[in-house]
Amino acid sequence: MSRVCQVTGKKPITGHKVSHSNIKTKRRFLPNLQTKRFFLVEEDRWITLKVSTEAIRTINKNGLSTVVKELRANGSKI
């Protein structure tokens, strides 16, 4: 499960690399993923997640416990 955000599900998308002479070749746009450790207070342990920077903002806004509950409800093992 490489290059996929565990929270938002973001993954690489394809597009064109356009040269100065307007020649188009295929390329991949990769998401900005970070491997980050979070401390889960309810379980008194650290968890490591591969998350996009948008997901880090979501965790800061909604709280880690809320995000982890949603992930477990969707069947993700954490």
Q: Domain limits of the chain?
A: 13-73
Looking at the DSSP bridge assignments, the partners of residue 49 are 36
Task: Yes or no: say if 34 and 50 are a contact pair by the CB < 8 Å rule.
Answer: yes
Q: What's the pLDDT at 78?
A: 86
Give pLDDT tens digits for 8-48. 999 999 999 999 999 999 999 999 999 999 999 999 999 99
Q: Residue 63 pLDDT > 90, yes or no?
A: yes
Identify the residue whose tokens are 């979070």. Answer: 38
- Model confidence pTM above 0.75: yes
CA distance 19 to 33: 27
Tell me the pLDDT band of 1, cut-offs 50, 70 and 90. low
For domain 13-73, is the CATH number 2.60.40.4070? no
- The span from the CA of 29 to the CA of 66, in Å, is 29
In the predicted model, what is the mean pLDDT of residues 58-78? 94
